[in-house]
Structure 1
Amino acid sequence: MGRLRRVEGQVRGLQRMVDEDTYCIDVLTQISAATKALQAVAVGLLEDHLRHCVVQAAADGNPDAKIKEATAAIARLVRS
């Protein structure tokens, strides 16, 4: 939750920067920081998914669907 709040604060800061006509390069730098922070949230969620949902599906003897789902999520993260 803390990471998401930090991203929210960064995005609100970006809105202020745009409203105040801040130098474009400075805005782009902050966009990059917010993007990286959001990616860190995504990686954390994916790790939790692997540790809990995929492991549980494997323990239940039916991991294929969860592995396919996780693989698709990883592919989306890599493309972004």
Structure 2
Amino acid sequence: MTHTIKDKAKLLGRIRRLKGQAEAVERALEAERGCTDVLMLVASMRGAINGLTAELMEDHIRHHVVDPATEADAGRARGATELIELVRTYLK
């Protein structure tokens, strides 16, 4: 079983929230709301997409590359932890 299947409910919940955010952008455009309002909605979508991407990348690293929690080699564990932190920081 892959990690995306194991976390299926959580990931689908995130996707459904993104879908709702996209619909909010659509409604704002249809209602001819101001640029600032639309840009704020798009920014919130971008943040949600980045959060989903970071979560998927972290899970990928932990399941397919190296899991710092179970890695016996301290150097590899530290490197994996740093990579995960870097991905999270980059996608904020």
Q: Does 1:55 align with 2:66?
A: yes
Deviations 1:7-51 (A, max 9, x none): 111011101110110111001011000100110000000011001
Give the % identical residues. Answer: 33
5+ long unaligned stretches in structure 1: 60-69
5+ long unaligned stretches in structure 2: 1-11, 72-82
| 1:5 positional shift | 1.0
- Alignment: residue pair count: 63
Cα RMSD between the aligned structures?
A: 2.4
- Determine the structure 1 residue equivalent to 2:31: 20
User: Could you tell me the TM-score, scaled by structure 1's length?
Assistant: 0.67
| 1:55 positional shift | 2.5
Q: Aligned equivalents of 1:2 and 1:43: distance in 2? A: 16
- Secondary structure class of the residue paired with 1:21: coil
- Secondary structure class of the residue paired with 2:66: helix
Deviant stretches of 4+, over 4 Å: none
- Secondary structure class of the residue paired with 2:36: helix
User: Could you tell me the TM-score, scaled by structure 2's length?
Assistant: 0.59
- Secondary structure class of the residue paired with 1:33: helix
- Determine the structure 2 residue equivalent to 1:6: 17
